[in-house]
Amino acid sequence: MSLTICVAQLNFHIGNFELNTQKMLKAIQEAKTHGADLICFSELATCGYPPRDFLEFDDFIDKCNQSVHKLAEAAWGIGVIVGSPSVNPVIEGKDLFNSAFLLYDGKIQAHANKALLPTYDIFDEYRYFEPATSFNVVKFKGYKIALTICEDLWNLGNENPLYTICPMDELMDQHPDFMVNVSASPFAYDHAHSRIRVLKENVKRYQLPLFYVNHSGAQTEILFDGGSLVFSPTGMVYDELPYFEECMKYYDLKHVMQGGISNVQHKEKIPLIYRGIVQGIKDYFGKLEFTKAAVGLSGGIDSAVTTVLAAEALGADNIHVLLMPSHFSSDHSVDDSIQLAQHLGIKYDIINIAQLYHEYLEVLKPLFGDLPFDVTEENIQARIRGMLLMALSNKFGHIVLNTSNKSEMAVGYGTLYGDMCGGLSVIGDVYKMEVFEVANYINRDQEIIPQNIITKPPSAELRHDQKDSDSLPPYEVLDPILYQYIEKQQGPREIISQGFEEELVLRILRLVNINEFKRYQTAPVIRVSSKSFGMGRRVPIVAKYLS
């Protein structure tokens, strides 16, 4: 007897139980019409992932349970696997399990609890859930399913030092026929290869086909790329679902067992970053019911790339940019910005801040006296621009997009309540040199970003003839050092041993550490790397290390 399995890769919304449930009910009905025997949804699909401290509300858990029962009522003639929190029935341990339910014939037939609870980077599952200690296959239509949840497959052979048990090793004694893994695996531009490698090693070890279903879409700063996978028991990728798309696909278990088609998505870094950020903007606005964005368009590459990404995500009609030159701004910065706005077909206005800036200086003159021009006067300009953008936001309901890149955020090369203001940091996880790569990718078929924006030396234009290189090392040098410190967690000795100059390394690392207070006050950063600023990098503000 064969079995038709549907992998349903959907985009859920945290706490939106009606939407999530209706989306799954619709998918169940569609799967029935396609003759599917079993449909699989992702980890914590009823409530969305990660729900964080919402899990501490009894009402939230009640709504999760109600969703499971509504799905069970629809599970006639088709089995449904869905992730949802469940209440721990014993007094000992945490109140909840992270569970996956098998629904069939109108009721809950079985469930599995997650054993390996990640507590690192963006994950904090042990805060809420009790780990499973018992393991049983799930029986369905004469088959025995090894049902696991995300991280449960990441301790192959019990070799991961974070954990002491390997769920699949425990399940193999019961001779399962195939594996189903429901997952919430976040996107990072370099994560897909390691994900496929780990899953492939599981398949080879256990010689069982695997159906792996992942979330798609964004939840605030966290992206889920989809990329759900089906493996034949030989370890070959049978199929890989699209990235950053909702998708339902159907598989005959007999065909998967025999092997056959091998469909793996192409994974280039910069296109993935581009698509991921567009998805992040789209879902941030859509799920919060915002529609319009405001950007300060400076003539620099960061604001240009941010504007293009926003226009792609929200549509040109929903973008309003302000050009806010001062007497320090070059003519070509204004001209380049106008040209970009015209290429995109977005609304733009020009507000010259020279007079506002002069009035600020006049008001402050009794306090400042004859003290020389310094970063104070530079920051005043940035904060005037921030105030104007926030005024636009308040008056028309536009959400201001922060345009700071990761290199600037790392070393504090930005002004709090000025260019660091905004509701969402679009490229805050993209290093400066990567921003140039994204710009060139945007221009791959035609010039959208004026070439002068890409080729001119980066400058904040807050004083005469200013260049970023006046304050910072060249980005070609800065970015690799930042990458080793932030992504790779390499200390000064390790970085210096790679050939970087000692004094420069110590200076850069000190800048990173002493500017943590700024990053605590900036907007959520769309995460595209393995270590972004925000919830995935928890560093104290008041610390002495390398400061």
Point out the catalytic residue in the list 6, 47, 64, 150: 150
Q: At what angle do helices 301-314 and 432-442 cross, to 10 degrees?
A: 50
Supply 306's token pair: 């941010």
Q: Which residue has the tokens 């924006």?
A: 453
Give the 3-state secondary structure of residue 395. helix
Point out the catalytic residue in the list 43, 130, 408, 434: 43
User: Is the peptide bond between 372 and the residue preceding it cis, with omega within 30 degrees of 0?
Assistant: no
Verify whether residue 114 is a known catalytic residue.
yes
Phi, psi of 430 (to 5 degrees): -125, 115
409 in Cβ contact with 522 (< 8 Å): yes
Q: How many CB atoms lie within 10 A of CB 173?
A: 9
Q: Which residue has the tokens 């619709």?
A: 26
Verify whether residue 43 is a known catalytic residue.
yes
What is the Cα–Cα distance from 474 to 58, expressed in whole angstroms?
A: 53
Q: Output the 3-class SS for 366-381.
A: HHHCCCCCCHHHHHHH
Listed in sequence order, the residues at least 6 apart from 450 whose beta carbon sits closer than 8 Å to its beta carbon are 304, 336, 339, 340, 343
Verify whether residue 40 is a known catalytic residue.
no
Supply 438's token pair: 């994204």
417 in Cβ contact with 384 (< 8 Å): no
Point out the catalytic residue in the list 6, 23, 47, 114: 114
Supply 218's token pair: 């964004």
The catalytic residues are: 43, 114, 150
